[in-house]
């Protein structure tokens, strides 16, 4: 807990000098906690003298932020036009079903994965595209992605 507070203090000191860096500060919070905890949002609002609703607006507007804990390896399934046409939405549904997740953004009970759809990952030529922990998998399928996630899970359990 003290380490968490020390890290938050470090983030605040790093960005406090200029409130226009609020997004960058929230990126650091998101990276550290894997989400924006409500009590941290409140503390930032107080310490920076920024309206709490401004922080929540940013945290809910940008897909990079989450108000609930994400998995250690966030899975982003592209459902943009090129990927949708090549089965992206089906991949999303099948991965969610395989991981027994009821809603996007929810983390698996072991905290390893969370799954979200995204509009375009900027590499439409590789459609359908999925990223796992930032690693890009192109020209993929439900079967391939489920195998990749199972492999990562086994690797993590073995370590």
Residues making contact with ligand FES (CB under 6 A): 78, 80-83, 120-121, 123-124, 127, 129
Do the Cβ atoms of 65 and 30 come closer than 8 Å? yes
29 versus 83: smaller Cβ distance to ligand FES: 83
69 versus 87: smaller Cβ distance to ligand FES: 87
Please give the structure tokens belonging to residue 53: 């609703």
Q: Measured from the CB of residue 130, what is the shortest distance to ligand FES in angstroms?
A: 9
71 versus 128: smaller Cβ distance to ligand FES: 128
Q: Measured from the CB of residue 91, what is the shortest distance to ligand FES in angstroms?
A: 11
Q: Measured from the CB of residue 106, what is the shortest distance to ligand FES in angstroms?
A: 22
Q: What crossing angle do the helices spanning 22-33 and 2-15 adopt, rounded to 10°?
A: 160
DSSP labels, 52-117: HHHHHHHHHHSTT--SSPPPSEEEEEE-SHHHHHTTHHHHHHHHHHHTT-SSTTPBPTTSSEEEEE
46 versus 81: smaller Cβ distance to ligand FES: 81
Which residue, judged by CB position, is nearest to ligand FES in the bound state? 80
Q: Measured from the CB of residue 136, what is the shortest distance to ligand FES in angstroms?
A: 9
Q: Kindly give, in sequence order, each residue whose CB lies less than 8 Å from that of residue 38, ignoring residues fewer than 6 positions away.
A: 67
């Amino acid at each position: 807990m003290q380490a968490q507070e020390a890290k938050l203090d470090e983030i605040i000191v790093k960005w406090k000098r200029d409130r226009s860096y609020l997004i960058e500060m929230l990126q650091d919070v998101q990276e550290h906690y894997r989400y924006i905890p409500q009590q941290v949002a409140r503390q930032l609002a107080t310490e920076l003298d920024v309206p709490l609703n401004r922080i929540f607006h940013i945290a809910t507007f940008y897909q990079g932020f989450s108000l609930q804990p994400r998995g250690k390896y966030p899975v982003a399934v592209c459902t943009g036009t090129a990927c949708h046409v090549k089965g992206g939405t089906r991949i999303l549904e099948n991965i969610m079903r395989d991981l027994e997740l009821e809603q996007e953004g929810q983390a698996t009970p072991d905290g390893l994965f969370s799954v979200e759809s995204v509009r375009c990952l900027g590499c439409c030529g590789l459609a359908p595209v999925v990223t796992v922990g930032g690693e890009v998998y192109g020209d993929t399928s439900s079967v391939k992605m489920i195998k990749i996630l199972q492999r990562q899970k086994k690797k993590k359990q073995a370590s």
